[in-house]
Copies of this chain bind each other. A is one copy, B any other.
Amino acid sequence: MSGKTVRTARTRVRTAVREVPGPCAHWNDEDADFIREILDLVGDKWSVLIIGSLERGPTRYSDLADLIPGISQRMLTLTLKQLQRNGLVTRTAYPEVPPRVEYALTELGTSLLSTVLALAAWSAERHCEIRRHQQEFDADTTS
């Protein structure tokens, strides 16, 4: 997982998903990698929640901890660092006492948020439908 075969072609990336020239596979390395990249960004347990909590502007560490019920300090710190590394949030430490640190969404983070929100909307629309399918399936399986 450390190799990742650095792709050089960034061209025509979006169309690659839909237009497939021949009869061969459409999940060509590149496309699959983009999926993986997203999953690495937001596939974990807390990233999206944190990003969403930053929607309204710069927020302090402790405020984030309050906004996101159930998150541990460890995960908050870790995920924030990860988000920062990916350029989705910025970290600003004010040299005061007691220390104050604010996290904020970058433009990149904001753009991701809006995209992710679409997913959340989808879930909101369909989640009862999904539940129904699950129950049907479980009923059938429970022989």
- Write the residues of chain A forming the contact surface with B, with a CB cutoff of 8 angstroms: 1, 10, 13-14, 16-18, 20, 25-27, 31-32, 34-35, 37-39, 41, 43-45, 48-49, 52-53, 55-56, 66-70, 84-87, 108, 111-112, 115-130, 132-134, 137-138
A35–B115 touching, CB < 8 Å = no
Q: How many copies does the complex hold?
A: 2
Collect the chain B residues with CB atoms within 8 Å of residue A87's CB.
Answer: 129-130, 132-134, 137
A38–B120 touching, CB < 8 Å = yes
Q: What are 16 pairs between A and B in contact, CB < 8 Å? A: A1-B70, A26-B52, A32-B68, A34-B123, A35-B120, A37-B127, A37-B130, A41-B123, A85-B134, A85-B138, A86-B133, A87-B133, A111-B122, A115-B118, A116-B119, A118-B118
